[in-house]
């Protein structure tokens, strides 16, 4: 197959054949030249399936099984089992090979967690004995109220270097960097202290030229974080308004990043070679003198969670007087169903955090009424998140709470999950190369901002009730959220910047209720079966969504319809 390079935010591919076959996600699908062009932008999507070890089956055999009941984990006694589980993990070598898979088998019955369990060694799988109410493993979180306070907007406050907060299970290294000893995991923040480029890089590059002496900080096989500064040319492309470019997250951040493997190191020429071409340009620094940077990543690998249920003990929280039914100002003011506030922020404990994790998974887990995010990722790659049944969250308000949150996630698979009564299934913060497939959702599929790109969203069923709508001043607002939410530069630059190029929607069932008195019916936008909708693409290059040539300022039903009605000039490319 022959390709010819062209520029799409610095990189693009034009297929020189019409109606070609492309191997995509282990399937053989005939697609048009236009769609092949889009999908080829992310070479990883063409070379391997996303998810655990590039689409491999999840592991079922182990070098060792540790029965947690033999090490102080006692079911059904109401006592905190977190110290005993942590002791089992800590007994495993910190240098355990990812290929030396060790299963920690939890007993049948109710397991109590009253502190964060750090899964900070590679090769560990936390496994229950199923999700069945009678024969399975049920993890109950007793809130230990880990947050330091509550901000003015109602979100919990904490040291943001510990982002995204606290969880029952946290898969992340605990190693500290010598310059940042205040918190665990700081080894992955030493990029703030140098490792910079000696010359700009272009999308499509695989060899990066570093400042003198910096290449020796890398070894072949390392994971490498690559972050591009938000230079003025990029912000112009992204339609970030001038008055928002003084915001900290815009002037001093990396809206574009990727995580790759190092395949070669040349210390004589101060270069590193990566296994996946850049899909963005990298200037040395921006208008605020904030620099592009790289760092070797200390990741946990081959970590898994499977075969258990998880919930929060309501009685142990400030939510004790609330209930899970639908909120109604008159008849049920204590309900949290579709209530987008943080009703007990001191207890906004997540279910599972995967941060700086590679080749890891969550499979066959039920998470019901957790403190905030049932599952949340940060700076992770090649995850499989599948067969997860989610129902509700106590806190779904300001500060980004109550999501199935795929943040800074790369080359991963989110498949066959039942996601109910949370705020969003959010894809955000430079997430790229992911496949979101076969999920059933009664919230919205939310492209939440921060240059998410090259993601494929297909064969999902998204049914949005009228009650799924924004809140303001302690009450629901008029109108209802849409099955798809898409970030614009003007709106999303408040927190992250816009969604990036080539987010592909294929064969999704999209439904919503237009009023409290009408049933959920077909939305009618971006949902024609057999039609591929490519957002942020004009057929040749990235383009911010527009209506009649004017960049959209936000996203609502009227704007979504305007974008749809103005295809293809609205920056949604369509192919059949």
Q: Give the tens place of pLDDT for each residue, 392-442.
A: 999 999 999 999 999 999 999 999 999 999 999 999 999 999 999 999 999
Residue 516: what pLDDT?
A: 86
CATH architecture of 69-173+304-517: 3 Solenoid (2.160)
Cα–Cα distance, 508 to 527 (Å, whole number)? 6
Spell out the per-residue pLDDT of the chain, length 576, in tens.
232 323 233 333 333 322 322 333 333 233 333 444 445 443 333 334 699 999 999 999 999 999 999 999 999 999 999 999 999 999 999 999 999 999 999 999 999 999 999 999 999 999 999 999 889 999 999 999 999 999 988 899 998 889 999 999 999 999 999 888 888 899 998 777 779 999 999 999 999 999 999 999 999 999 999 999 999 999 999 999 999 999 888 999 899 999 999 999 999 999 999 999 999 999 999 999 999 999 999 999 999 999 999 999 999 899 999 999 999 999 999 999 999 999 999 999 999 999 999 999 999 999 999 999 999 999 999 999 999 999 999 999 999 999 999 999 999 999 999 999 999 999 999 999 999 999 999 999 999 999 999 999 999 999 999 999 999 888 888 888 999 999 999 999 988 899 999 999 999 999 999 988 899 999 999 999 999 999 998 888 899 999 999 999 999 999 999 999 999 999 999 987
187-297, which class in CATH?
mainly beta
Neighbour-count burial for 289-308, b at 16+ CB within 10 Å, e otherwise: ebbbbbbbbbbbbbbbbbbb
Cα–Cα distance, 232 to 240 (Å, whole number)? 9
User: What is the total residue count of the chain?
Assistant: 576
DSSP string, 478-539: SS---SEEE--HHHHTTTT----S-EEEES-EEEE-SSTTS--EE--SS--TT-EEEET--S
pLDDT in tens, 486-503: 999 999 998 889 999 999
Residue 44: what pLDDT?
A: 36
Residue 287: what pLDDT?
A: 94
Residue 30: what pLDDT?
A: 33
Do 5 and 11 meet the contact criterion of CB atoms below 8 Å apart? yes
Residue closest to 276 by CA, chosen among 229, 234, 225, 237? 225
Cα–Cα distance, 161 to 180 (Å, whole number)? 10
Rounded to the nearest 10 degrees, how much is the dihedral formed by the CA atoms of 127, 131, 132, 133?
110
Residue 332: what pLDDT?
A: 95
Separation in Å, CA 368 to CA 343, 422, 461: 16, 10, 20
Residue 160: what pLDDT?
A: 87
Query: Mind spelling out the 3-state secondary structure of 116-179?
Result: CEECCCCCEEEECCCCCCCCCEEEEECCCCCCCEECCCCCEECCHHHCCCCEEEEECCCCCECC
pTM of the model: 0.92
Any idea where the domains of the chain sit in the sequence?
3-54, 69-173+304-517, 187-297
Residue 576: what pLDDT?
A: 72
Residue 165: what pLDDT?
A: 96
Residue 206: what pLDDT?
A: 95
């Amino acid at each position: 197959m022959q390709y010819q390079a062209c520029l799409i935010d610095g990189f693009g591919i034009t297929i020189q054949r019409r109606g070609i076959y492309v191997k995509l996600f282990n399937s053989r699908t005939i697609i048009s030249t236009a769609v092949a062009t889009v999908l080829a932008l992310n070479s990883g999507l063409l070379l391997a399936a996303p998810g655990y070890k590039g689409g491999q089956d999840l592991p079922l055999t182990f070098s060792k099984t540790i029965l947690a009941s033999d090490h102080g984990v006692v079911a059904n006694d109401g006592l905190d089992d977190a110290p005993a589980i942590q002791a089992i993990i800590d007994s495993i070598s910190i240098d355990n090979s990812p290929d030396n898979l060790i299963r920690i088998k939890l007993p049948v019955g109710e397991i109590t967690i009253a502190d964060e369990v750090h899964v900070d060694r590679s090769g560990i799988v936390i496994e229950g004995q199923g999700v069945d109410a009678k024969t399975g493993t049920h993890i109950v979180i007793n809130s230990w109220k880990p947050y330091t306070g509550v901000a003015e907007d109602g979100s919990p406050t904490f040291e943001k270097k510990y982002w995204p907060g606290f969880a029952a299970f946290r898969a992340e290294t605990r190693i500290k960097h010598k310059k940042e000893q205040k918190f665990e995991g700081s080894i992955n923040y030493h990029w703030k202290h140098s490792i910079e480029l000696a010359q700009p890089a272009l999308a499509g590059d695989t060899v990066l030229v570093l400042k003198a002496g910096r290449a020796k900080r890398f070894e072949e096989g390392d994971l490498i974080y690559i972050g591009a500064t938000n230079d003025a040319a990029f912000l112009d492309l992204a339609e970030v308004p001038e008055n928002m470019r003084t915001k900290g997250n815009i002037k001093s951040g990396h809206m574009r990043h990727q995580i790759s493997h190092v395949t070669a190191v040349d210390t004589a020429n101060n270069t590193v070679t990566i296994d996946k071409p850049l899909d963005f340009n990298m200037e040395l620094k921006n208008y605020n003198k904030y620099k592009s940077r790289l760092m070797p990543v200390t990741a946990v690998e081959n970590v898994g969670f499977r075969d258990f249920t998880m919930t929060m003990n309501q009685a142990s929280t400030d939510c004790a007087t609330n209930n899970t039914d639908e909120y109604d100002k008159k008849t049920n003011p204590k309900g949290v169903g579709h209530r987008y506030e943080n009703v007990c922020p001191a207890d906004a404990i997540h279910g599972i955090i995967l941060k700086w994790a590679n080749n890891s998974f969550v499979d066959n887990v039920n998470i019901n009424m957790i403190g905030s995010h049932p599952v949340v990722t940060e700076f992770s790659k090649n995850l499989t998140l599948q067969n997860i049944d989610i129902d509700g969250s106590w806190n779904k308000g300001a500060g980004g709470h109550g999501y199935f949150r795929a943040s800074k996630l790369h080359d991963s698979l989110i498949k066959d999950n039942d996601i109910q009564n949370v705020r969003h299934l959010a894809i955000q913060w430079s997430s790229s190369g992911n496949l979101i497939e076969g999920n059933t959702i009664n919230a919205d599929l939310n492209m939440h901002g921060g240059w998410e790109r090259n993601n494929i969203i297909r064969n999902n069923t998204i049914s949005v009730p009228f009650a799924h709508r924004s809140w303001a001043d302690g009450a629901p607002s008029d109108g209802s959220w849409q099955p798809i939410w898409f970030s614009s530069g003007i709106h999303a630059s408040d927190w992250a910047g816009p969604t990036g190029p080539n987010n592909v929607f294929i064969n999704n069932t999209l439904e919503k209720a237009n009023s409290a008195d009408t049933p959920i019916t077909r939305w009618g936008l971006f949902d024609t079966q057999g039609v591929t909708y490519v957002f942020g693409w004009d057929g040749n290059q990235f383009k911010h969504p527009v209506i009649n040539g004017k960049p959209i300022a936000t996203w609502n039903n009227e704007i979504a319809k305007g974008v749809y009605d103005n295809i293809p000039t609205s920056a949604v490319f369509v192919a059949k």
